[in-house]
Structure 1
Amino acid sequence: MLSRTAAALAAVTVAAALSAPAAQAHGRAPRLEGQRVGYFTQWGIYGGFSARKVQTSGQAGRLTVINYAFGNVSAEGTCFEANAAGVGDAWADYQRPVGAEESVDGLADAAEQPLKGNFNQLRKLKAANPQLRAVISLGGWSWSRNFSDAALTDASRKKFVSSCLDLYLKGDLPQLGSAEGGRGAAAGVFDGIDVDWEYPGGGGDPGNVVRPEDGRNYTLLMQEFRRQLDALGAKSRTHYLLTAAVPANEARADRLEVAKVARSVDWLNLMTYDLHGSWETLGPTDHNANLYSDRSDPAAENRGYSADRVVRHYLDKGLPPAKAVLGVPFYGYGWTGVPAGAEHGLYQPATGLARGGSLPYNRIKDLPGTVHNDWLHGATWKYDGTDFWSYDTPELLTRKARYSRWNGLGGVMVWALDNDDAQGSLVAALDKGLGRTGR
């Protein structure tokens, strides 16, 4: 017992040393302005990303919330953990032993620990960065199939919400044939729930269960989450976060009772990206996430869409500005066989997709080509004479963060942290735009 206590104390000491600015270690660090929400993908570890890189890149010290993506919803309408391809990855979540070289605090997981993997690393990130909270995000594109069933009735909503709180907030993890897990094993890791139902009423993965009443049931589900989160929080004098990721598409947004949902949530993460992309295989080339609308946009679908237009739509539907968090992409879409036209490849036909159609910023930045900036419409792209890439540069992200601040919005949300470079340049750019204040 003494050795484990000593190890825990050492972990905290090393974590404090890793937490960057010396001022922060002495309690004089400036307070972060606005919410800075970054998605950490469960599967990122298989590509070499880790919570340690969130720390060493400086991302962790500039974020307020990490959304862990994703938790799945079972056919029985519950939150659950499993080890099955396409269903769940408990191994990544809390079973995988993390070595010293990959650990946030430089200490390897011990064999007897009931909590390992990403969940334990999130706990260490929070210890090293007192301003940081972690939220479990449920669903996403691939795991929204059963939301409609889970939200269908009062009984199903109560059952679903209760199961999510037991699993993620109370931390009662199944052991799944291993020593990891058990009652309370993950207690304290997560500070709330993010609902990423894509999408109530349809438009998501073709296999999703969809009903006309999904929009109304979505409201009731969020109200049930708020009730149970508040009841749990009252016992420990804790406010648990409730957020949701909501679509940029206006028709999908109109299925939501935005003003009613707003009363239940701390904020909504607006997915103000994917306005155009690789599904438009032959073009015309267009912007992934332009800030302002362009009247000359020739697109057949989502013509004239922009982040600002989406924000205004949600505000008009009753979302308070302080509960609107602007989504920004750390990735881009690419086309090939693109003629220059009048605007360096913009709004031109293509013969196909470049390099699979999508790449993270940390790869696009090193591709050949010239970066072009449309200041009027808040968009950047790279063009090399044949390949066209629509993506956000650090300078554009700083501008978007300022847009959020100047319009009284709640902050910014990032998909996803592993697409940034090793120096955390994109998160740093957002930090620059949002600003800081002294304590």
Structure 2
Amino acid sequence: MRFRHRAAAGFATLLLPLAGLVGLASPAQAATSATASYAKTQDWGSGFEGKWTVKNTGTTALSSWTVEWDFPSGTSVTSAWDADVTSSGTHWTAKNKSWNGTLAPGASVSFGFNGSGTGSPANCKLNGGSCDGGTTEPGDSAPSAPGTPTASDITNTSVKLSWSAATDDKGVKNYDVLRDGSKVATVTGTSYTSTGLTAGTDYSYSVQARDTADQTGPVSGAVRVRTTGGTTEPPTGDKVKLGYFTEWGVYGRNYHVKNLVTSGTASKITHINYAFGNVKNGQCTVDDTYAAYDKAYTADQSVSGTADTWDQPLRGNFNQLRQLKAKYPHIKVLYSFGGWTYSGGFGQAAANAAAFAKSCKAVVEDPRWADVFDGIDIDWEYPNACGLSCDTSGPAAFRNLMSALRTEFGPNYLVTAAITADGSAGGKIDAADYGGAAQHLDWYNVMTYDYFGAFDKDGPTAPHSPLTSYPGIPQEGFNSADAIAKLKAKGVPAKKLLLGIGFYGRGWTGVTQSAPGGSATGAAPGTYEAGIEDYKVLKNSCPATGTIAGTAYAHCGGNWWSYDTPATIAGKMSWAKNQGLGGAFFWEFSGDTASGELATAIDSGLK
């Protein structure tokens, strides 16, 4: 996607190191009356998630708590929740919030944080004393992660789970069984039968060990289970109808998952690509953690009509997508990594494709949201070619990366890729082995848009998403038909090709000629970026005045725009069906009208 740019997100919990010293807290209780234990709950290579648990082991209430520790140089806290965390150099201090400082005897409270680096905490103190009542080092380590559960004896309403045991320096007491991120049982053994399930429904299970001091360790990997039976999913035809949901759209665009419901779009699509995860240090990572899983939604903003609470395990877009899937079970969601802005990391990822694939699966299968995602989409712009930066990893790198992802994710996940639509001789399609990679993928999202635009500020004006070539086209091969034909010639099955539709227009200013081919002086003004505007705006501000090569254009004042309309989309969908394509996809939901008229045109055209 050419014009991906993430809006800056405000993090209410972002931490800035304090310049002054943070003094040690005075003991609110004797050190032996409470303990503090630490666990690293997630690790994605360049960063991690940590959790501290404070437990009142005394006989009187604890009125407040302060946990202190040291991190080695290079390791730091980047954001935190359920505690106020500050630092002085490598020394970190966490103090209770106003609402979670009081602990009754036997009660416990946890706070968490995201960190960078690879170090572990040392010199732990709780309320100025030892975290375990002994030395100044944590004296009782949390248990290790149990093995990823395996599922057997699956019926319409139950499943048996088994896992390998966790280890602990002082012994494992029991295991918490998590279903879709929430605890459903605590058992002493290493197996559990989950009952009372719904037929034909997807579930995600993981487990977490608890030691004799009630410390919990990291959550295991997740296993996906679909119960047998159930009703047939709503008929959607045999064509894929996929839209991109942008993570940053919840800010300036004020576009949320619930808009898919209110616009009527949710019933007309089959798949959603959540964009974008980042690619750093050769690994998949969550980009904006606040938007992804921390932003709280009020009842009127949420898909379910229920407000988020401060202590629920998952909030943000991921929880809203979970609610959407519960309401529309036919929708599948893929986590898309890369995009125009974040493709620079794929070259390093390709150098160790197996490690990259493993990191991606760890993100997609994170126990907090493993039930949300049904697959992964890779948007590498562009392998062995130039986009925002130039890649030189060679023509086989893309195929090798896709092969590693399929091996890691297995046959039950969707594995897809958004790819170039440059059909010119010696162009980007020729730069990588898209034909060889296709055997590992469910489909390609062929980005048949952004061919022309005001990145060539002087023009000539040309439609950014031509379906076919036409006399005077500025560059041969820059059209959908040539790109699809070239991919087919390289051995990609037609059913694995989705035609791309832009829910926006590209435009120039300083244009006097109404027909394509005119000169310009620069980019036309746009709401978020010069030269780009949403369809929902253009349909009224600059209505179409003509069509060329299967798409529309508009000349109004000194501005010239090209974009797709419901009518041109109908023609493109008819062409896609005649070509035997697997369906269509679009970038992106928020460009559509409040009634979802472009998504409706795609749905109607593919029936």
- Quickly name the TM-score band, shorter chain normalised: 0.7 to 0.9
Aligned to 2:376: 193
Per-residue deviation, 1:111: 1.6
Percent of aligned positions with the same letter in both sequences? 37
Give, in whole Å, the separation in 1 of the partners of 2:435 and 2:458: 39
Q: Which moved more, 1:303-312 or 1:63-72?
A: 303-312
Judge conservation of contact 2:398–2:434 (CA < 8 Å) in 1: no
Per-residue deviation, 1:268: 0.5
Aligned to 1:101: 300
Q: Quick one: which of 264, 283, 290 aligns to 1:58?
A: 264
Q: What is the root-mean-square deviation of aligned Cα atoms in Å?
A: 1.9
Aligned to 1:162: 358
Q: Which 5+ residue runs of structure 1 have no aligned equivalent?
A: 6-11, 13-25, 82-87, 172-183, 234-238
Per-residue deviation, 1:379: 1.9
Aligned to 2:565: 393
Per-residue deviation, 1:27: 7.1
Size of the aligned set, in residue pairs, is 372
Aligned to 2:242: 37
Per-residue deviation, 1:31: 2.9
Judge conservation of contact 2:422–2:477 (CA < 8 Å) in 1: no
Judge conservation of contact 2:233–2:329 (CA < 8 Å) in 1: no
Per-residue deviation, 1:101: 1.8
Deviation per residue, 1:139-166 (Å, 9 max, x gap) = 00111111111111xxx21111111111
TM-score normalised by structure 2 residue count: 0.59
Task: Check if 1:136 corresponds to 2:335.
Answer: yes
Deviation per residue, 1:153-204 (Å, 9 max, x gap) = xxx2111111111111x22xxxxxxxxxxxx111111000101011111311
Aligned amino acid, residue 309 of structure 1? D
TM-score normalised by structure 1 residue count: 0.81
SS of the aligned residue for 1:263 comes to helix
Judge conservation of contact 1:42–1:68 (CA < 8 Å) in 2: yes
Task: Check if 1:288 corresponds to 2:464.
Answer: yes
Give, in whole Å, the separation in 2 of the partners of 1:31 and 1:430: 12
Q: Quick one: which of 521, 531, 546 aligns to 1:372?
A: 546
Task: Check if 1:408 corresponds to 2:580.
Answer: yes
SS of the aligned residue for 2:545 comes to strand
Write 1 or 2 for the structure with the bigger share of helix: 1
Judge conservation of contact 2:265–2:599 (CA < 8 Å) in 1: yes
Task: Check if 1:73 corresponds to 2:243.
Answer: no
Judge conservation of contact 1:32–1:62 (CA < 8 Å) in 2: no
Per-residue deviation, 1:411: 0.3
Query: Are the structure 2 counterparts of residues 28 and 94 from structure 1 closer, same or farther at C-alpha, using a change threshold of 3 Å?
Result: closer
Deviation per residue, 1:300-352 (Å, 9 max, x gap) = xx345211111111111111000011111111111122123xxx231100122
Aligned amino acid, residue 290 of structure 2? W
Deviation per residue, 1:91-150 (Å, 9 max, x gap) = 000011111121111111122211110111111111111210000001001111111111
Judge conservation of contact 2:544–2:554 (CA < 8 Å) in 1: yes
Aligned to 1:177: none
Aligned to 1:429: 601
Query: Are the structure 2 counterparts of residues 216 and 423 from structure 1 closer, same or farther at C-alpha, using a change threshold of 3 Å?
Result: same
Aligned to 2:489: 316
Deviation per residue, 1:247-293 (Å, 9 max, x gap) = 01231111221221110000011000011012011111001101111
Task: Check if 1:147 corresponds to 2:346.
Answer: yes
Query: Are the structure 2 counterparts of residues 347 and 45 from structure 1 closer, same or farther at C-alpha, using a change threshold of 3 Å?
Result: same
Give, in whole Å, the separation in 2 of the partners of 1:258 and 1:384: 40
Aligned amino acid, residue 466 of structure 2? N
Judge conservation of contact 1:398–1:431 (CA < 8 Å) in 2: no
Q: Which has the larger radius of gyration?
A: 2
SS of the aligned residue for 2:541 comes to coil
Query: Are the structure 2 counterparts of residues 151 and 286 from structure 1 closer, same or farther at C-alpha, using a change threshold of 3 Å?
Result: same
Query: Are the structure 2 counterparts of residues 291 and 370 from structure 1 closer, same or farther at C-alpha, using a change threshold of 3 Å?
Result: closer
Q: Any residues of structure 2 matched to 1:238-249 within 5 Å, and which? A: 239-249=412-422
Give, in whole Å, the separation in 1 of the partners of 2:493 and 2:238: 18
Judge conservation of contact 1:369–1:385 (CA < 8 Å) in 2: no
Tell which has more relative contact order, 1 or 2 (C-alpha 8 A, sep 6+).
1
SS of the aligned residue for 1:67 comes to strand
SS of the aligned residue for 2:291 comes to helix
Query: Are the structure 2 counterparts of residues 28 and 314 from structure 1 closer, same or farther at C-alpha, using a change threshold of 3 Å?
Result: closer
